[in-house]
Amino acid sequence: MYIRRVTRKNKDGTTVAYLQLAHNEWDPKAKYAKAKVIYSFGREDEVDRAVLERLAKSISRFLSPEQAWEVEKLTGEASDDFQFQSCKHLGGVWLLDQLWRQLGLGEILHSLFASRHHQISLERLIFAMVANRALHPSSKLAMEEWVEKDVYIPHLPQVASHQLYRAMDELLAVQPELERQVFHAVADLLNLEVDLIYFDTTSSYFEVDPSETPEGESLRKQGFSKDKRPDLVQIVIGLAVTREGIPIRAWVWPGNTMDMTVIKQVKQDLIGWKLGRVISVMDRGFSSEENLRILQQAGGHYIVGEKMRSGKAAVEEALSRRGRYHEVDENLHIKEIIVGDGEARQRYVLVYNPSEAERQRKERETLLESLKEELEGLRQLPNEAHHKATCRLRSHPSYGKYLRQLKDGTLRIDKQAVRDAEKYDGKYLIRTSDDTLSAEDVAIGYKQLVDIEQAFRTLKSTLELRPMYHRLEDRIRAHVLLSWLALLFVRIVEIRTHESWPNVRDECERLMLGHFSSKNGDLYQRTELTAKQAQLFAALGLEPPPKILGIHPRA
C-alpha cells in the first residue's frame, strides 16, 4: 500500500496532480499487477496537509523507533536542534544481558523469587552486581553512581546500596537450587562434557588486622595463605570446573581449613546433582587414601597427583620401575606403571617433560654456584659471625637441602642430595582408579588442571575478588557467589570468541549510548558498530543493540 501521485493535462496546457491511496493487485488476464485506488485525497494543491500528517503519525505507532523517527523528520515534527546530554557505556552490559537471557538466568531467578515481593526486581539487582564484577569491579556504594551515570542497564535506571545488600541476602537463601539450575541450564546450552571434573582450592584475604576480628568469628581465620599474605585473615574457596574450563560450582570454608578435609563435602554435593560417571581430577594436596576412597563412591573415579617424595612404598616402587617413555608430544613423555595385584593394585602414570627438566637443571646449577660463593665467604668470617652465617645457610629454604655439616661444623655441598634431585627433574607422578582411560588421556586430563588455575587468576585479578571488605558471613558467601556467576559468563565468552575477556570487554565497552534532547523529546542512540564488535556478537550468537534504543516525545 502506498500514496501515488497522478497527473492530468488540461486543454489549456496546464497540468493538475492528484494524490491517491492505492495498492497493487495482480491481474491474471493481463499477467501483471495493476494499481487499485482505495481512497482519493483530491488535487495536490488543495489537499489538507494536516490530514496526511495525522495519517503518518497513526501509522508510525506500529513502526520501529528508527522508522518512526524518520516519519517525524519527514513531517517536520522532529527537530534537528538536538543537544547532546550524556553518554553511557552500552556494549559490555548489553552483551552480558543478552547472554544472561540466553542462558535463562532471568527466568530462573524470577521463579526462585516468585514468592518475594520487592519494589525493584531482585533479578535486575543481581544481574547488575554480576555485570559490575565482570566489567568494573567496585563496592556496592560505588555501584549507585556507576548504574546511574556510567552504564546503561536495561530496566534498571538507578539503584541504592541497601537494595543491593538486600538482594545479596535473598540470593544466598536460594543458593543451592540456583547452583543446580544454573549448572543444568549451562550444560544443556553448551553441551558440556562432565565426565572430568577438576577441583582445587585457593584463599582470599581481608584488609583487616587479625587482632581486630571479633571473638567467635567462624569464617575469617588465619591459615595457609596462597596469596602470600599470612598476616591477614582469609577464607578458603573451592572451585569445580569442567574440562572446557566452565566453573560449575564454588564453595566457601573458614580460612584455616585444610585441603584434605573438604573432599567429602565436595563429593556429596556433586553426587546430589546426579552427574553420572564422574572422574575427579585433583592436585597432590588432596591425595590422601581416605580422600581417594571418598572419590570412588557412587561409581566415581579419580586422577590425582602423587607426591614423589612422600616415602610411600608404592610410590618408591613406581619411580624405580624401569621402562621406556612413550612420546605423546614434544614435551609430554609418559610411562604407565602398575604396582601390586588384586585389591592392592595401583595404576600410575609417570610423566616427563624434557623442557621443564632442562629449566630445573639450569636453575639448580645457578643455585649451586651461588651456594659455593656463600660457602667461600664463610671462611673469611670471625667465629661468632661464622656461626650465625652457618645457621642461616642451614635453614635457608633453597640452600639448606643441598648442604651437609661435617663433624667439625664445616658445611659442604651434599652431592648425594644433588643426584637425588636430578632424578625428579621434569617429572610428575599421576595416580588413577580408572582402567578404561588410556595413559595418554590420564596425562592430558591431569595437565588440564591449568584451567582451574587460570580460573582462580581471573577471579582474583580480572574480577577483583580480593581483598574483601565484607564483615558479615552471609555477605562474604554472597560475594563469592556473585563472583562465581561473573566467572561463569567470562569463561563462556572466552570459549565462544577465542578471545581473552579483557580484550572482549574493552572492545565492547567502546560501544556507547548517547542521550540527545530537543524541544520535542529525547532520543537514545548508540554509536556505530565496529567490525570487531559485530564479529564478537556474532560469535556469541547474540543480537547487538539496535541503533535507536528509545524515543520519548514530550507531551
249/315 same-domain check: yes
Q: Tell me the whole-structure pTM to 2 decimals.
A: 0.75
Q: Which residue has the higher pLDDT, 160 or 287?
A: 160
Q: Which residue has the higher pLDDT, 384 or 527?
A: 527
pLDDT-derived band at 483 (thresholds 50, 70, 90) equals very high
Q: What are phi and psi of 469, to 5 degrees?
A: -120, 0
Residue 541 placed within a domain: no
pLDDT of residue 497: 95
Residue 554 placed within a domain: no
Residue 537 placed within a domain: no
Residue 384 placed within a domain: yes
CB 143 within 8 A of CB 129: yes
Per DSSP (E only), the strands in 353-470 are 403-405, 411-413, 427-432
Residue 518 placed within a domain: no
Supply the range of the domain harboring residue 33: 1-47
Q: How confident is the model over 190-206, as a mean pLDDT?
A: 84
Which distant-in-sequence residues (6+ apart) come within 8 Å of 410 by Cβ?
Answer: none
Q: Which residue has the higher pLDDT, 375 or 80?
A: 375
Q: How confident is the model over 22-26, as a mean pLDDT?
A: 86
163/211 same-domain check: no
pLDDT-derived band at 334 (thresholds 50, 70, 90) equals very high
444/307 same-domain check: yes
pLDDT of residue 53: 76
Residue 284 C-alpha cell reads as 597432590
Which distant-in-sequence residues (6+ apart) come within 8 Å of 461 by Cβ?
Answer: none
- pLDDT value at 222 more than 70: yes
Note the pLDDT tens digit of each residue in 59-113.
766 666 666 666 666 665 555 567 888 899 999 999 999 999 999 999 999 999 9
Which distant-in-sequence residues (6+ apart) come within 8 Å of 242 by Cβ?
Answer: 192, 193, 194, 196, 197, 198, 248
pLDDT of residue 106: 94
pLDDT of residue 357: 93
Domain with residue 239: its CATH number is 3.30.420
96/162 same-domain check: yes
Q: Which residue has the higher pLDDT, 326 or 451?
A: 326
Residue 254 placed within a domain: yes
CB-CB neighbours of 395 under 10 Å: 9
Residue 343 placed within a domain: no
Q: Which residue has the higher pLDDT, 486 or 271?
A: 486
pLDDT-derived band at 226 (thresholds 50, 70, 90) equals confident
CB-CB neighbours of 57 under 10 Å: 14
pLDDT of residue 80: 54
Residue 488 placed within a domain: yes
Q: How confident is the model over 190-199, as a mean pLDDT?
A: 79
